[in-house]
Structure 1
């Protein structure tokens, strides 16, 4: 009988340790959960891809970004870096990382710079949004804001309509900001660059509370544009329209 009671006690201990009796680990509170979703489709040639990456690295290591991170109520944010192209190509280049001080930001930027460069055909902003939205699930963080930051140099030409993906993400409490890269360079196979890309992003891509876009007038201007955009996103501020930024409709 004593052996039976001992077995029962062991069973109860196992249930408490591995079942509903064990307290769940709490997510780490942060001021912002941010997905940096970067276009690496075929329209982005090797030089443009290099300029994009260097732009993110330069922006993230800027002292103003680190001051903005420390200036939030929690003094920390969570960020992941995603590269995307067609509807079947999305990859996590750098996984979710807690950024709270100089060392963590520098390490995150170095991971971006050192990752192998890959590319694929077509441009599916909708698939990029769908993929990015799922990354907020069970990521170990709980942010006061959740944002997908989409940068790219073309319109959606694969997958479902981008506004459908945007609307579903917004309904889930996610804000989508945009950084359209405006340039007149033909793509690698000779096609013309899209016209009015900033208008396209404003109408079809961005959405959610406080959504905005900051156009980069060229790949060379990308670093300055992403710095301005990250400062706004981390600080939760409204963009200055005089600087070329545009806000979106919170309802969509």
Structure 2
């Protein structure tokens, strides 16, 4: 992915297999979020392809990619702050509505039935992620950690097969990070979810990842299991630097 004369991501090849939690890590400015933006259709790559379940999704718009089963969160929480927890999740659920605006405006029977079913599904989702008791709370009133959980729940409401998390632990204290670690594990198991995440909190990454890819200056410098990555000299150098020769 190039922006003018700047190559943000160069010759990146990676695989996220069904049922895995895969992490993309690297120093600030390594190209991680750019890679996410390419996968989700925010950017069209300068060259190369994005394949999802064997289908080329490279030129698709973000909403089409979401409909195919890829959902994401953002480093900066993007909730509808003045809406309730339930309303935030309902908005995402509307992606799969079968009836149109006309039917909804006229309160036609099939539209009312679908809306009722949708609300039940959202309540079931909130129960699974531990937010059901907060469903009528305004999103902005929630503690930071629960706002992050809600953002992830809203992504789950689109019925994804692949969930992309962009620095989900950003801004969290150790207790919140620990709770998030368990939360991601639970949703992976509860929803049979495949997770692809960017994260700087290495304790979280090393505890839950099946595979890790490491970017530095837009280049893939390492890939492997958590144990392999922790011992990789290129990764250590990228994060800690190396002494210059005298």
Answer whether TM exceeds 0.5 for this pair: no
TM-score scaled by structure 2? 0.34
Normalising to structure 1: TM-score of the pair?
0.34
Q: Which has the higher contact order (CA 8 A, sep 6+)?
A: 2
Q: Which has the larger radius of gyration?
A: 1
